[in-house]
Structure 1
Amino acid sequence: MFTGIVQGIATVEEVTAVTGLSTLALRFPDDRVQGITIGASVAINGTCLTVTRQQDNVLYFDAMQETLKATTLGALSVGDRVNFERAARIGDEIGGHLLSGHVHTTADIVEIERPENNVTIWFSLPENWARYVFPKGYIAINGASLTIGEVTGTRFNVHLIPETLRATTFGKAEVGDRVNIEIDSQTQTIVDTLARLGYDRPASNTTNFGSASS
């Protein structure tokens, strides 16, 4: 399990691709690999991966075909930067919300607003996943636990403070970038349960209930 509090940024050192499998070599900050072991779980842009090898502060991960298909990891290349979070331990503070590290879908950045001292990023996601996105609700974007601001059809935004921009890859985000999305599990359960009872929410429902900060 993860908390959605990004612990830092790693850089892609090497990508080795064979049929149905990519091995990612990621360079971590020196102080973030202490106590890491082979087999440990680390969320890379919100995707739970297993450490297969370590060489100093470079960790190696294997991403299988299904992972490459369902996430943005298959598009990574040398020099790219990724958010990371090591698996939570019992007793850790949960500053965000509980995440599984299982990416549900991807979304595209369609607009970036830069008012003074913060940034608002608009995303567009597939219609069948928009039904789980509500203003003031939780969502994980590239592994970061964020609060949803406005929702309009299949588009939604998040408002990012300077610390979030500094600590994550969102500080360098650009229109057209694709990101990994993990829907809040409690929201998904509630929406699906109501749908089974006949109280379905249309996927294209349009709402706009103000904004929230993250």
Structure 2
Amino acid sequence: MFTGIIQAQGQIKRIDVRNGDWRLTVLVSELDMSDVGIGDSIATNGVCLTAVEFSAKEFVADVSAETLKVTTLGQMKVGSKVNLEKALRLQDRLGGHLVSGHVDGVGRVKSISQDARSWRYWIEAPADIARYIAHKGSVCINGISLTVNQVTGCEFDVNIVPHTRAETTISEWQVGTEVNLEVDLLARYLERLLAGPQAVYAPEANTSTITKEYLAQSGYL
């Protein structure tokens, strides 16, 4: 588990293609690796990766074909910057929200505008996960815990303060940039709980039986 509070920016040092999947070497920059062990998890642009080798300056992780297919890691090149966060410890402050590092889908930056000293980014989410994104709810974008300001159909916007923009890879985003999205954990489990064991979930199943009326009848509203 993670919090979505980025601890450092890293950089892709090496990509080894191995029978359809990848082995990544990531330079960790200022990330403290003194308490990392083999098998520990490090969120890389919001994707939970397992360290199979590491040193004070870098770590190595295998990336499956499935992960390359459903996240933006497959677009990474040597030199690409990534957001890094080590796994949450139970005694840590939960400054963001609970994040699993299991990406739900890939979104796209639709527009960027400055708002006083902050920046507004409108993001388009895939239709099958947009229903989980709520006004003033939490969303994880490239590993960053952010608050949703507005929602219009499949698009939503987030406000980025100067500190977050400076300490993460957000400053590199442009209109059209693809980003990893992870929705709030509770929303996914609530839908599954209310839908019952007969419900079928697959990438092509973009409809939901959960409505506002259904939630009200079930005592959630």
TM-score past 0.5 threshold: yes
Q: What is the distance in 2 between the residues matched to 1:65 and 1:199? A: 32
Counterpart residue number, 1:174? 174
Query: Where does structure 2 lack aligned partners over 5 or more consecutive residues?
Result: 197-207, 213-221
Structure-to-structure mapping, 1:78-89, within 5 angstroms = 78-89=78-89
Separation in 2 of the partners of 1:171 and 1:114?
Answer: 12
Q: Confirm or deny that 1:147 pairs with 2:158.
A: no
Does the alignment pair 1:17 with 2:28?
no
Alignment of 1:75-154 (within 5 A): 75-154=75-154
Q: Residues 8-49 of structure 1, C-alpha deviation per residue, up to 9 Å, x if partnerless?
A: 100111111122211111111245222222211100011110
1:4 matches 2:15: no
User: For 2:172 and 2:210, how far apart are their aligned partners in 1?
Assistant: 40
Aligned equivalents of 1:186, 1:24: Cα separation in 2: 31
| Residues 25, 59 of structure 1: 8 Å contact kept | yes
Which digits, 9 at most, give the CA deviation of each residue in 1:76-120, with x for residues without a partner?
001110001000112110001111111111101111112231111
Specify the SS of the correspondent of 1:11.
strand
The answer as to whether partners of 1:28 and 1:59 remain within 8 angstroms in 2 is yes
SS of alignment partner, residue 32 of structure 1: coil
Match status 1:200 vs 2:211 = yes
Query: Which moves more between the two structures, 11-20 or 86-95?
Result: 11-20
What is the deviation of 1:70?
A: 1.1
* Aligned equivalents of 1:191, 1:152: Cα separation in 2: 21
Partner of 1:53: 53
Contact 1:194 1:200 in 2 (8 A): no
* Cα gap change, 1:92 to 1:12, in 2 (>3 Å): same
Q: Secondary structure of the equivalent of 2:115?
A: coil
Superposed CA RMSD in Å reads 1.8
Q: Which amino acid in the other structure matches residue 80 of structure 2?
A: D
Q: Report the AA paired with residue 63 of structure 2.
A: A
Shift of 1:123: 0.7
Other structure's SS at 1:171 match: helix
Once the 2 structures are TM-superposed, how far is the Cα of residue 126 of structure 1 from its aligned partner? 1.1
Q: Percent identity at matched positions?
A: 36
Aligned length: 201
Tell me the CA shift for residue 175 of structure 1.
1.1
TM-score normalised by L of structure 2: 0.85
Uncovered stretches (5+) of structure 1, i.e. residues with no partner: 202-214
Question: Is 1:132–1:191's contact at 8 Å kept on the other side of the alignment?
Answer: no
How many Å separate the matches in 1 of 2:209 and 2:177? 36
- The CA deviation string for residues 47-84 of structure 1, in whole angstroms up to 9 with x for no partner, is 11011112440111110111111111111001110001
Q: Give the secondary structure class of the aligned counterpart of 2:100.
A: coil
After superposition, what is the alpha-carbon deviation per residue over 1:159-185, rounded to whole angstroms, capped at 9, x for unaligned?
A: 010111011111221111111111101
